[in-house]
Amino acid sequence: METLDPHRFVLGENCSLLKRHQMLCICVNSFSKHKYIVCVFLLLFAQMADAMEMMILSILAPQLHCEWRLPSLEVALLTSVIAL
């Protein structure tokens, strides 16, 4: 894949200022292989964190029911609020 040179668009002839700015933004903010890897890693980490939260809630809810003597409705309300 050809990499774009941002200076070519800034110094290019017959380009409006807006067009030059748009092309410069595309060149500077383009995704490289490294950025894709970071995005995939962050998405996987977010999925893992969500799964761990659900596992902790599944263990914590019965404990709250027993130790704090909460009724089932309050335990359900508490786990629902935490999951939001």
Q: What is the pLDDT of residues 8-39, one digit of tens each?
A: 545 455 556 666 666 666 665 566 777 788 88
Contact 77, 57 (CB under 8 A): no
Q: Quote the DSSP letter at residue 68.
A: S
pTM beyond 0.75: no
Spatial separation of the C-alpha atoms in residues 38 and 30, rounded to whole Å: 14
Burial class (CB in 10 A: 0-12, 13-18, 19+), 46: exposed
Cα 26 off chain centre by = 21
